[in-house]
Chain A
Amino acid sequence: QSALTQPASVSGSPGQSITISCTGTSSDLGGYNYVSWYQQHPGKAPKLMIYDVSHRPSGVSYRFSGSKSGNTASLTISGLQAEDEADYYCSSYTSSSTVIFGGGTKVTVL
């Protein structure tokens, strides 16, 4: 199964908002509301930022929000900060009872 499709890179200036897209199929992202987003800084383990499309775990900034329409999910980071510079991955449950990740998006704060 192919990875979910994410843009390779997204950039923005401090204070701006950016959106990362994640596209799948009806057999994964489009078919379930089990979409998660992870932040990964270099050399570190990933951190859960969003689960079930739009829910934030305790401790994650309100500046991070998620949504989904059809086969595409989105992560929006508002009020971009230097510490948000990292790689971001989406993931989805699939009809095969497995999990699939996106290829990852590098966020650069200009």
Chain B
Amino acid sequence: EVQLVESGGGLIQPRGSLRLSCAASGFTVSSNYMSWVRQAPGKGLEWVSVIYSGGRTYYADSVKGRFTISRDNSKNTLSLQMNSLRAEDTAVYYCARAPDWDLNAFDIWGQGTMVTVSS
């Protein structure tokens, strides 16, 4: 079965760090565009970051310099290292796959993991 399963969310204090993971099954992470998309409570979707099949990475301005996307090809997983967390980073974080011909067509989504930044 083709699926994504996120983990690693939780309650973290401002300025803290957290690492999210996303385990893929049924397809190869390194052969696709893989993104993180977040959704603050009651708000819309916000794209966070992408890693290309070739390894290039891009970030939304709101997280640039604080978040790092990466993947482990041997484990077929995607990760998001989040540092210097702020209250406005509170959201459900989804990992999403886009096929290698369209990085904007997120055809597989995980169930999401909640990150709450609060003291």
Contact = CB atoms under 8 A, between A and B. Distances in A.
Contacts of A89: 44-45
A interface SS class: strand
Size category of the B interface is 20 to 34
B94 A36 contact: no
B47 A98 contact: yes
Interface string B45-86: 111001000001011110000000000000000000000000
Interface in A16-43: 34-36, 38, 40
A98 B37 CA distance: 12
A104 B104 contact: no
Interface string A78-90: 0000000001010
Interface in A37-94: 38, 40, 45-48, 51-52, 57, 87, 89, 91-93
A92 to B, nearest CB: 6
Interface of B: 35, 37, 44-47, 50, 56, 58-61, 94, 102-107, 109-112
Interface of A: 1, 3, 34-36, 38, 40, 45-48, 51-52, 57, 87, 89, 91-93, 96-104
